[in-house]
Structure 1
């Protein structure tokens, strides 16, 4: 037989005397050079090629041809990926793959050398058939879990972790939540004392790499494959020696990880099937959490719509009844002053409608925040408010990221509230409104009559008001805009006894 003989496992050429021996081997043996040309096929490999192509060719005809031309169906498969990786790393590897033209599963072993690659292929007819059946059974089991409408999300995740532990042979399986530098166990299957709700430093875990890279991390033997991770508590203190974890993505951000691990290293790497299985589970968890997020948003929107309907029907009815009364009187008497009162009621209804629409829009997340000068925004807002003689004192030099239009609306509502509710019997003349800086935020206060202690907890609720003619939407709108920006709001008292509203977590 012509062509270069394959290299052995230690990288040396196979002695010529093994030529006939390889032909008697019931596994397919191929030899490729560095350019992927066939250098050798034994009798079994030759038969496999003929069966796959449906052509009768001699072994000599195959030598010198590119394997990707001989068997083009191998392109873009696990076989090609592993072969190219073995040639690049010069490391032997074993894997299982399915070859579609033969509808057969093969256990493949690759032995690379500087001059080429030797490929041993064992057809696992019975084992492969059983493997496919097992995989189909696992997928059906997974489907039954995720399709169970009576199970809670936590129960479904627990069942997926149970399946993963069984297939991977690991003792631990967890769904985690990552917030900043903290890692919280949410659903746990563990033989130890780890419980849901436990929190550790993210930097102590292998999951940190998953979170940072947003990619699945596969480590059959952590010490051998990622020695830089052995300094972490996960290995040094907890003894985690093998790990397979995938990121959970919710609303385009990393929510946490879905992972499996054990204190014993694996003797063989995780298979493609095992990695794919964990990826599938992680993606379902991501979708389920995304769905829960959307459903919660819908519940909030429905509650907001119901709240709006109640407020609109209640708050519009009074000025509408007033307008009807004055309109009837105008018809009877022709009194122009009655029509002025009708116009005033209509203006009141327009204000209520504007407030309700503003409140409806305020709950939306800030999609395109920009860097802005809060002092400049506050000054612009003051120019848009009928201040009725009140004075603004500004001591705010702070930048923030947000929606300038909605933040101007926030300041306008604060100023209107101060003028309308902080003034005494003589109106707003003499009232001073101050805007100043806080650590991590700012405040808006006045020296007016203030907000009673009993009302401070509810004053930010939409629809709550202490005035007979108020809608209670102004400060509710302020709270919603602040929440949309991730800020915290607190109602307190200024030094002079007036109202003071503080905003923190401003960045």
Structure 2
């Protein structure tokens, strides 16, 4: 081998070029194994391996010590090279999200075409229609190959099949609005060796052989090292119709799809710029707890939820992907509900304040009149009771309006401790609170106390001041219960118990509605059953212990 290389510099150039192509393909296999998608990885690995094998076969063809071995190496190269077309199509189908590579019909057709073409190549010594091989000494001793009709027909078929894969890639790039020029440059590498094929046929300065392994090797390695990360961004962007922006590990703009550039026109010239400079409003949203971005488009405000996900190449994080989802309708509805709750809260405060003053005056006058009269006046007593009931009703209305607010201040609290605090506010002389078991729940302490107070008051209203209320955790550890020994709630009224205005005699009809509002504000559920002593039993489930 050394004598051949030293005596023939031109041969050395050929060997080095094809050898480097083979080594580059094989060396790239390690990086290709880091591709996440199994089918895409498998297709690209085989494409690299077969491309490298084709180039290696040409090295063997150039260095073979005999005509027979040189011819065998060349035939192996032709076979492996045509097989690379199948690997390329497999990769393109998997990468673009198609299922052609999994279709049994297409697979069988591919095998038939491959066997037929390879059969024509291998039987060339019998028909001589593919190529003729003649030993020659120009420009150095080698086996000169003169290609015939079947070779050019086979090459045309290979390029036609490869074009199908190129079309898949260009279609995907176009769909996501990605620049196709870099892909076009990369694809052109596969056609460049065809020029040398033609020149080799017409000029003695180049040996007459197939030069495609060089271009295919450059393309396969370039696909992996130069553009695969860009291919990956295109594939991710192609899976969604929403705007997508890709950042590198330094949070600089790396890429984007067409919807994102429509949403942010300055992205066209923002590649390489830090996110905080190119899209300061987006950077501000990502740095805050509120991930909803407000943008003015065509004279109206639109809202987009900004989600961020790590962007990896294999197991290596190379940046992150920003996904913008249009949530305009949802956000407008949320804002409207927020405004309604705010108006309701203001209304309840104003009403309760304006009613309390005249109620206080009326209550004071009744007390003065009762003190002035020597005997108890039933009419004044009834009026005082009615005023007390109106006062409780006002308090319940205000509490119900406030109970609709979001539950944010959650912390682990002891159910028994909150229940004891709530019981102290209930007018239940002669009654008793029993704690069967204690549980620690994640809740807003004040809101939970309000709910328990209303449950206890409901028991007093229906069972009397000597009621016995019991609190404990459920056996399946999914929540807790509050029950009493009163008359209970009839089965036909249990589904209506939490509706507004449903009450026994003397109640406001809002107490249990307040309880349900607070419970659901925590994300829990409440139901009413019958206690062991025939009273009412309220079970709260879905509680995080």
Tell me the TM-score normalised to structure 1 length: 0.41
Q: Which has the higher helix share?
A: 2
Greater relative contact order (CA < 8 Å, ≥ 6 in sequence): 2
TM-score (norm: length of structure 2):
0.39
- Between structure 1 and structure 2, the one with the greater Rg is 2
